[in-house]
Structure formats: C-alpha cells, structure tokens
Amino acid sequence: MNIIRVKRILRRIEMMLNGSYERGIEENRQKAHEVSAALVHDYGQTIQGLEALVHDYGQTIQELQRDIADFQEPNKENKSAPNPTGHALEMNSYYVDKFPHDVADFEDWDEDNVQRLYETIKDREWHHFYDTAMGLLVCSHEGDYYEFGCCGGGSMRIALAKSLKWHLNDMDFYAFDSFEGFPTTGALKMTEQDFMFSIKGDGIKVDRVTTIPGFYDKSLTKKLQEEFLAKPLERRPKLINVDCDLHDSAVPVFEFIEPLVQPGTIIMLDDFWGTFDHGKQFGTALAFNEYCEKYPRMKFYPFMRIGCWGMSFIAYDPKVFTAPVV
C-alpha cells in the first residue's frame, strides 16, 4: 500500500471521527435546550402558583380587615366589647381532661390553672344541664325561656343552641337585666348593645331574643307581669334562670314569676350553694326559700345540681302530686 493511499484512508477516518463528534455535540446541545425549556416552563408554573397564593392572601387580608371593621363598628363607644364567639355549641374540656393525677403533674399546677379548671367544669355542667332540661321540655313543646342576670351572655347562647338542637323552634327567649351592673357597685356591667352583639356572634335564633332592661324593682312591673299572663299557656315560662346573685335583686324576680310558674317549670339558681355562707346580702337561695314559704301554690322538687354553685328545681302542683318538697 503506497503512502498516498494510506493518507487517504487516514483522512476518511479523521472525517468520520469529526462527524461523530460534531453530531454528539449537536445532540448534547439539543438535550441541553430541552432541559432548559422544561426548567423555564416549570419556573413559569411556579411563578403562577406564587401569584395565585399572593392573590388569595390578599383576599384573606381584606376579609380579616372587614371582619375587624364589623366588630369595631357597633362598639365604638365601648372598646372592651366581649368576645362574641363563646362556647355555645361546643365546650373546651381541656382542663377537665388534663387536670393532675400524680405528683409530677402537680409541679406546674398553679392557681391560674385552678381558676380555669373551675370555669371549665362550670361550662361542662351548664351544657349538661341545658341539654337535659331542653330534652325534658321536648315532651311538652310548650313554654319560653326567662333569664334574670345576663352578664357575659354565655348561658343565653347555650340555651339558644340547645333549643335549636332539640328542635324547640317556637321557644322565645327573654333577657332581664339592668345592663348597668349591680345596683350599688356597678360590678359585672354589660351593656344591652354588647349583650346582643355577643348573641349575634353565634347567629342562633337571634330574632327570638327580647331584652327587658332595668333594675328589677323598677322594670318588673305589675303591667309587664299582666302582659306575660295574658299570653297563652304555651307561652308561659318553662325554663327560668335566676342568676342575679343578690338577695335584694332576687326578691322582685320571684314576686314577678310567681303567677307565671306552672307545673313542670324548671327554675335554675346559678348561685344556690354558694350563697349559704354569704349571709342575706348575697342570698339567691334565701330569696328562693322565702318565695317558697310565701307562695304555697307550687312546690319544688330538686331537679339537677349544676357545677359547684348551681341547683335547679322543677315545679309541681301539691294537690296533684304529693312528694318531698324543698
């Protein structure tokens, strides 16, 4: 083989190798382009996703601002308006379920926990009482709810929720309160506006609630009593919550409800047990005892104990049903 032919062969080999190399470079370039295009596409999708999140976040901020404005609007004069959420439908049983059981658990158990435990037990007992009472009233489907002493609105919200739960759809609710606090000290003051705002926070049967403002010695008039007596029997009170704490406040309450009470009426005294060691001034129990002695038309049988302080009774006609009396 001569030298010229060898050179030609080497030249062809070189050209073949260069072609493969160039094709390899082109293929790699195309692959790199495809990968880059895919990355750009994914990046674009990510940008769109982030823009959507920013938009949703902006919408959420606007909604929160509107909610804050709605909350502040009816309470411009009173910046300490109560939290309207409450525990109407559900209660927080954390401190009931988690209270200490052994020595180690008591290491961080301070007085703040005791107060929260008391409030939670009270909350649990209220729910149990209103559930049981409303369940009993289902049997008659008659009667309204009266509440004397409405500070905080908690018991009224629970009563509204439980009546809805038990389908007592015709029950009306009357809130009797001074809405100025205690007569002498002004303690436990909650304005009528704030009370209704707290009720509206749960949005349950708000249209069935009527407020009767004023201190009881002035607001519970004979005329008002006659107006309630003029209602049909099915509109008489079947569940009455007396939570006015003071003896002098409770006396006119019992005078007012006496002709309205009928067999089967349940009376709840929130401060019954706690009043025994506080004398006459803080004496709902004493006022109830005086009422029972003064008006023998109805007798009362113990119904349910409610938490640490409360007690309830159910009225019966002693001419029909002879049973132990209070």
Work out the average pLDDT over 134-139. 92
Is the pLDDT at 300 greater than 70? The verdict is yes
Is the pLDDT at 44 greater than 80? The verdict is no
How much is the pTM? 0.68
Write down the pLDDT at residue 81. Answer: 40
Can you tell me which residue has the tokens 């409303």? 134
The pLDDT > 90 percentage for the chain reads: 41
Write down the pLDDT at residue 15. Answer: 64
Is the pLDDT at 8 greater than 80? The verdict is no
Write down the pLDDT at residue 304. Answer: 94
pLDDT in tens, 195-229: 999 888 878 888 999 999 999 999 999 999 999 99
